[in-house]
């Protein structure tokens, strides 16, 4: 259950309203300063099964309305109850308002630098842990990363560790030229695949994620051929193979980020496809939601026509941005965690608003130099809206970018709506 903080409310008054201990609200939401709630802030109330004692004049219908459940829910939670003959003093069960929608797969990307305590708190809610990343070199070799601690933690938590390879150039970002060099040489591709298999085997990985971005549009078919080649090598060895692809809204969408990502080919050849449905609001762009739901829907409307629904993992951002206004081309927003965004709102005295079209929270404030800022981030409401798309579209699950910071509300809402599929034991 999601509560939006109203003026004059406290953790105690909110907890009392829902009949749960206020200490649990603080603990579940990891509230660092209970005296500094922000108007518009969300709190996840984990009500669970509660007890209610029948009073004079009570009806099952009235009790159901009071607790936001249905009469059928009450009857199901209380076998043998007679709705027409309630007894004063009779104790009945009040079920949770939230009903689970099914079981899904959950991937989380993590950098090797992740705090292991953060990782341990997140692992129970993951199917796969994708460790980012082994960067490809022009000769088909790979850099080295300190992934062993993450692999050990994943396996001990029943989570399947996934190796990630990317075309990130040393000291820079994703390189179109680097991946072109690989795609234009059969020898380099064979060397790369041999090196990937060696790491998969030596480290005990469950599978591989291909995060190859900004591939030149004219290299599209060569990228498709590389996918055929690497899957034909890895699948007989029992490895899962996934890819990360740009959030296209049409098959013919232009732009270097999009054109070489051939949705039908990825959907046909790979076990799962992660659609990176975020970064509409990004570091060097104007202020807006990172993953506006209306844009995510447009992406899914196309995606399900090209990729089997049960292979799609929907990308979920686990961060926000703070922009200085007015936006100036070339200026950079500051990234921040979801928890830090709420703490910033409390510190500057801002009320959090919610954009119903984008299904995302935001707020404005002025800094000490008088400059206006706009902050967009994710909260329990945006998380719930995104998670319900998984059920609506019949997708396989979601993929967090990244889990390096812990957002308790993400995890609470996720586990309130779905059971997490585990494939590693």
Q: Which residues are catalytic?
A: 213
Q: What is the DSSP string of 113-144?
A: T--HHHHHHHGGG-SEEEEEEEEB-TTS-B--
Contact 352, 361 (CB under 8 A): yes
For the record, the structure tokens of 404 come out as: 């390096």
What per-residue string of b and e applies to 321-359 under the rule 16 or more CB within 10 Å gives b?
bbbbeeeeeeeebeebbbbbbbbbbbebebebebbeebb
Find, among 167, 160, 172, the residue nearest to 142 by Cα.
Answer: 167
Find, among 381, 376, 413, 377, the residue nearest to 398 by Cα.
Answer: 413
Half-sphere exposure of 104 (CA within 13 A, CB side): 28
Query: Cα(373)–Cα(327) distance, rounded to whole angstroms?
Result: 10
- Look at residue 311 and give its three-state secondary structure: helix
Cβ count within 10 A of residue 405: 17
């Amino acid at each position: 259950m999601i509560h939006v903080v109203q003026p004059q409310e406290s953790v105690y008054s909110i907890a009392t309203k829902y009949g749960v201990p206020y200490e649990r609200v603080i603990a579940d939401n990891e509230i660092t300063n209970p005296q500094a709630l922000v108007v518009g802030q969300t709190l996840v109330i984990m009500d669970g099964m509660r007890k209610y004692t029948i009073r004079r004049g009570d009806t099952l219908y009235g009790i159901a309305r009071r607790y936001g459940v249905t009469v059928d829910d009450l009857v199901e939670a209380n076998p043998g109850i007679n709705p027409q003959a309630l007894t004063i003093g009779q104790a009945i069960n009040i079920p949770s308002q939230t009903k689970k929608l099914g079981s899904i797969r959950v991937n989380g990307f993590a950098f090797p630098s992740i705090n292991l305590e953060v990782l341990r708190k997140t692992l129970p809610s993951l199917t796969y842990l994708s460790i980012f990343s082994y960067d490809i070199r022009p000769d088909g070799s790979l850099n080295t990363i300190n992934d062993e601690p993450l692999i050990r933690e994943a396996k001990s938590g029943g989570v399947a560790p996934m190796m990630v390879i990317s075309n990130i150039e040393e000291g820079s970002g994703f390189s179109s030229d680097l991946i072109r060099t690989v795609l234009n040489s059969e020898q380099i591709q064979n060397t790369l695949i041999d090196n990937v298999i060696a790491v998969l085997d030596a480290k005990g990985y469950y599978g591989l994620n291909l995060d190859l971005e900004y591939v030149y549009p004219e290299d599209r078919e060569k990228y498709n051929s590389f996918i055929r080649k690497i899957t034909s090598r890895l699948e007989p060895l029992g490895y899962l193979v996934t890819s990360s692809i740009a959030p296209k809204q049409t098959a013919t969408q232009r732009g270097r980020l999009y054109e070489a990502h051939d949705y039908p080919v990825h959907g046909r050849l790979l076990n799962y496809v992660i659609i990176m449905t975020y970064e509409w609001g990004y570091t060097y762009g104007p202020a807006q939601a990172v993953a506006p739901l209306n844009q995510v829907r447009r992406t899914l409307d196309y995606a399900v026509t090209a990729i089997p629904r049960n292979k799609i993992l929907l990308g979920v951002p686990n961060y926000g941005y703070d922009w200085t206004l007015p936006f100036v081309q070339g200026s950079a927003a500051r990234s921040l965690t979801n928890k830090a965004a709420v703490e910033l709102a409390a510190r500057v005295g801002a009320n959090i608003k919610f954009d119903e079209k984008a299904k995302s929270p935001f707020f404005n404030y002025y800094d000490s130099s008088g400059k206006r800022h706009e902050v967009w981030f994710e909260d329990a409401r945006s998380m719930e809206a995104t998670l319900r798309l998984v059920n609506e579209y019949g997708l396989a699950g979601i993929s967090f970018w990244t889990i390096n910071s812990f957002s308790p509300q993400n995890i609470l809402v996720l586990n309130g709506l779905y059971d997490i599929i585990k494939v590693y034991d």
